[in-house]
């Protein structure tokens, strides 16, 4: 991606990539080097703004605010969003950009980085993708996670190609690592004949339907959590249809109209009409907005045994793990945890799982040809013996 920078800016020293995959090492090193001056410019800027106010933009805004780098504004090309506020920030048109007010721009619409980069080049605006900004700043930490938690060659390949795609804004490296069976890509020996399945972020029941297909309709119990009221209603209706199709008792599936987190609280909903599957919970609920309950899994399950936990909860995965600490430490269920909503999750979630139980082995898989649907799989070597054939 092209960035506009004054000539002669000195680039900060680069971390050494001593153990990257040989075919990607030169590319990653080169891409980081090409962006090092832009990273320095962004870090030195008096003001930062974000281009793209979708779920990735909202998470980026929160992350920057945690560093005391509150963005000045969002910019967005969608006229329906211009004039609104997202994550407490105004959403503006690029026609409203003023260098003195809005400063350096980080592109957070990760699916169209090259297109937006060309748009900003045409306007003479200094910029970089947020993904590249984050990876280049924390490359040493990324590599430490890679070395500590991912000893499997396929996981390392996925990790490295994700880094390259994040740095360049080009999804082409991902084509070689797309895996089938999202949320169910475990080793054969980890599968049980009758799972006790927790579906956190159940949406309209699509994952439960896939779970039933993968397990030929056999299971012991399902606990499903969905916070958005309209989506929860669709979930309840679809579970009725699935019960009729597969012949299980409706009482075998417990539905919770709630989100999952580290503690019991009430949050608001940040809805994105263009991507209803990415509705996120934001704190705190207030005003006339819609509030939803959030509960820790340890409390909601009340000590019930769990053998399989899937979590796709729009950036609350780390909080979910904290609120499920007792359940995970006690029962050591298989885990399928989404790892793409927040950039920090690549660095924090593997360590969080290892802290809950040192028996887990981690595997990383990617399930689309874009920077979406990366899943961290965790399973223990000494699984129970009632495995599926």
Q: Is residue 130 part of a domain?
A: yes
Rounded Cα distance, 314 and 45, in Å = 30
Are 184 and 131 contained in the same domain?
Answer: no
Rounded Cα distance, 388 and 216, in Å = 10
pLDDT value at residue 291: 85
Q: Which CATH number is 370's domain given?
A: 3.40.50.150
pLDDT value at residue 219: 98
Are 341 and 204 contained in the same domain?
Answer: yes
pTM over 0.75: yes
Rounded Cα distance, 225 and 54, in Å = 23
Are 191 and 104 contained in the same domain?
Answer: no
Question: What count of other Cβ atoms lies within 10 Å of the Cβ of residue 24?
Answer: 19
pLDDT value at residue 4: 41
Q: Which CATH number is 51's domain given?
A: 3.40.50.20
The strand order across the sheet containing 265-270 reads 259-260, 291-295, 265-270, 280-282
pLDDT value at residue 107: 98
Are 101 and 212 contained in the same domain?
Answer: no
Work out the burial of residue 180: count CB atoms within 10 Å of its CB; fewer than 13 is exposed, 13-18 middle, 19 or more buried: exposed
Q: Is residue 304 part of a domain?
A: yes
Q: In the chain, how many domains are there? A: 2
pLDDT value at residue 26: 77
User: Do 183 and 339 contact (CB within 8 A), yes or no?
Assistant: no
Q: Which domain holds residue 313?
A: 178-380
User: Which residues in the chain land under pLDDT 70?
Assistant: 1-23, 270-290, 383-389
Are 143 and 185 contained in the same domain?
Answer: no
Q: Is residue 113 part of a domain?
A: yes
Q: Is residue 9 part of a domain?
A: no
Rounded Cα distance, 339 and 337, in Å = 6
Which of 94, 124, 147 is the last residue before a domain boundary? 147
Are 238 and 124 contained in the same domain?
Answer: no
Q: Is residue 305 part of a domain?
A: yes
Residue among 104, 119, 190 at smallest CA distance from 363: 190
Are 223 and 141 contained in the same domain?
Answer: no
Rounded Cα distance, 33 and 90, in Å = 33
User: Do 69 and 294 contact (CB within 8 A), yes or no?
Assistant: no
Are 141 and 192 contained in the same domain?
Answer: no
pLDDT value at residue 387: 43
Q: Is residue 1 part of a domain?
A: no
User: Do 330 and 352 contact (CB within 8 A), yes or no?
Assistant: no
pLDDT digits (tens, 9 = 90+) for 98-125: 999 999 999 999 999 999 999 999 999 9
Q: Is residue 5 part of a domain?
A: no
pLDDT value at residue 191: 85
């Amino acid at each position: 991606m092209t960035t506009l920078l004054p000539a002669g800016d000195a680039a900060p020293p680069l971390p050494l990539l001593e153990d990257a995959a040989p075919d990607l090492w030169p590319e990653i090193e080169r891409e980081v080097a090409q962006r090092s001056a832009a990273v320095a410019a962004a870090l030195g800027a008096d003001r930062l703004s974000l281009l793209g106010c979708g779920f990735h933009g909202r998470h980026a805004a929160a992350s920057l605010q945690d560093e005391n780098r509150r963005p000045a504004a969002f910019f967005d090309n969608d006229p329906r969003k211009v004039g609104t506020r997202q994550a407490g920030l105004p959403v503006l048109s690029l026609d409203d950009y003023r260098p003195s007010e809005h400063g350096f721009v980080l592109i957070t619409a990760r699916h169209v980085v090259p297109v937006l980069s060309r748009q900003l080049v045409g306007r003479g605006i200094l910029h970089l993708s947020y993904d590249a900004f984050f990876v280049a700043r924390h490359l040493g930490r990324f590599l430490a996670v890679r070395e500590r938690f991912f000893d499997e060659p396929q996981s390392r390949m996925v990790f490295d190609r994700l880094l390259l795609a994040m740095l360049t804004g080009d999804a082409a490296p991902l084509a070689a690592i797309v895996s089938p069976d999202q949320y169910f890509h475990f080793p054969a020996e980890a599968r049980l004949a009758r799972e006790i399945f927790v579906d956190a972020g159940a949406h309209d029941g699509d994952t439960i339907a896939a779970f039933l297909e993968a397990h030929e309709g056999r299971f012991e119990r399902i606990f499903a959590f969905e916070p958005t009221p309209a989506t929860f209603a669709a979930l309840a209706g679809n579970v009725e249809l699935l019960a009729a199709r597969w012949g299980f008792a409706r009482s075998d599936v417990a539905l919770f109209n709630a989100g999952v987190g580290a503690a019991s609280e009430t949050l608001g909903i940040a809805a994105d009409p263009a991507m209803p599957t990415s509705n996120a919970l934001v704190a705190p609920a207030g005003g006339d907005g819609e509030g939803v309950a959030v509960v820790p899994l340890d409390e909601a399950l009340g000590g019930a045994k769990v053998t399989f936990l899937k979590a796709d909860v729009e950036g609350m995965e780390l909080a979910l793990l904290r609120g499920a600490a007792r359940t995970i430490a006690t029962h050591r269920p298989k885990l399928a945890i989404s790892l793409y909503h927040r950039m920090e999750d690549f660095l924090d979630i593997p360590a969080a799982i290892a802290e809950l139980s040192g028996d887990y082995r981690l595997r990383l898989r990617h399930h689309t040809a874009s920077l979406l649907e990366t899943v961290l799989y965790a399973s223990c070597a000494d699984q129970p013996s009632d495995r599926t054939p």
